[in-house]
Amino acid sequence: MGVLQNTQIVLASRPVADIDPKAAFRTQKVSLSDELGPGEFLVKVLYVSLDPAMRGWMRDVRSYIRPVQIDEVMRSSDVAQVIKSNNKDYRVGELVRASCGWQEYQVLKPSEDVVKIKIFPGISPSSYLGVLGLTGLTAYFGMFEVGEIAAKGGPNCTVVVSGAAGATGSVAAQIAKHVFGCRVIGIAGSDDKCEYLVKELGLDVGLNYKSKTFFKDLCAATPKLIDIFFDNTGGDILDCCLRRIAFKGRIVVCGAISTYNDVVPKGPAYYSALITQRARMEGFIVFDYAKKYGKALEDMSNWIKEGKLKTRETVIHGLENAPEALVKLFKGENTGKMLVKVAEETTASRL
């Protein structure tokens, strides 16, 4: 029997407003026995997903998932590699996506939260936290199930996506543009990101929401108003888009990152546009569509192969940098999926 030294990052205190990473988290080393019970397998974490939703998990409030407790390992979705196994279905060297949290190692058992990863050429393991993970699935189901893009999409349909240079937004915007041929306007927080949206992702327009002329620019870019608004940010951007919503328009409430650090979030001022335009605004959680993940992932894999979906990652190295990386999401320091690389994958020759 062996004992591993396992580095973990736990929630130390609940932030009230912006996250102070030094106060909110604590690093600890614990011993982990590698003795495995029946069906168990030991994994080492390779990549940790950083998600704005983590800010919500740090609050002690009613939500779609229970809050992370004080002194508990910070929850995250991860890609991990099996390094010892007592289970013939999870062999040493294989990769899984699982919720191990901010730590180096974990002993797992098969469950619906542990998903084996199939690697195919051109797809990196980290993609299973991004475009082929919950992020990509969020974009897919938000667009299909809430935005109803299959019914509304086409060249006469104007789609606006906020947080468009981020992980979820970039996939949502490309589905609207390259799968359904809509006119797509992406909103992001810098001119460089706007250039990326147009030149690299092929959107029609990129708008910087920090510009003084943002609302005027949005009006100019949406002469036929907005049929589908896929919202990742909430706040003032949501208000601007409410003012431009088309008759029977749809607002997909995917996220509201601009409000997550607010002590008391303020609501949209222009929501009465939903009445006058008979529009609909609807929230969702990606887990609602778990039974349909298979078909969605097949579609997304095909769109990647066909060049319809391009992705970027912002990779921070070292588990110890996970708290700072989380804060960077709220400063817009990522383009595409924000990840922490914790360890190298052990290649077949070294197993």
Ligand X SMILES: NC(=O)c1ccc[n+]([C@@H]2O[C@H](COP(=O)([O-])OP(=O)(O)OC[C@H]3O[C@@H](n4cnc5c(N)ncnc54)[C@H](OP(=O)(O)O)[C@@H]3O)[C@@H](O)[C@H]2O)c1
State the residues that interact with ligand X by CB under 6 A. Answer: 51-53, 135, 138, 163, 165-169, 188-190, 193, 232-233, 235, 254-258, 284-286, 329-330, 332, 334, 338
In angstroms, the first-to-last Cα distance of the chain is: 19
Apex 97 CA angle, 117 and 59, nearest 5:
160
Of 44 and 193, which CB lies nearer to ligand X in the complex structure?
193
CA 243, distance to chain mean position in Å, is 27
CB of 160: closest distance to ligand X in angstroms? 13
**Residue closer to ligand X (CB basis): 52 or 323:** 52
Name the residue nearer to ligand X (CB basis): 271 or 284. Answer: 284
Least distance in angstroms from the C-beta of 120 to ligand X: 23
| Tokens 């938000």, residue located | 142
If the CB atoms of residues 166 and 249 are measured against ligand X, the closer one turns out to be: 166
Q: Closest distance between ligand X and the C-beta of residue 339, in Å? A: 10
For ligand X, which is the closer residue by CB, 158 or 232? Answer: 232
CB of 237 to ligand X, least distance (A): 6
The one-letter amino acid code at 333 reads: E
CB of 303 to ligand X, least distance (A): 17
Cα 193 from Cα 186, distance rounded (Å): 10
| Closest distance to ligand X from the beta carbon of 246 (Å) | 23
User: Cβ of residue 236: shortest distance to ligand X, in angstroms?
Assistant: 8
Whole-angstrom distance, CA of residue 345 vs CA of residue 259: 37
**Cβ distance to ligand X smaller for residue 103 or 258:** 258
- 233-236-240-245 Cα dihedral, nearest 10 degrees: 50
Nearer to ligand X, 76 or 158 (CB): 76
User: To the nearest whole angstrom, how small is the minimum distance from the Cβ of residue 337 to ligand X?
Assistant: 6
Closer to ligand X by Cβ: residue 21 or 39: 21
Tell me the C-alpha to C-alpha distance, in Å, between residue 303 and each of 115, 131, 152, 287, 350.
22, 11, 20, 22, 34
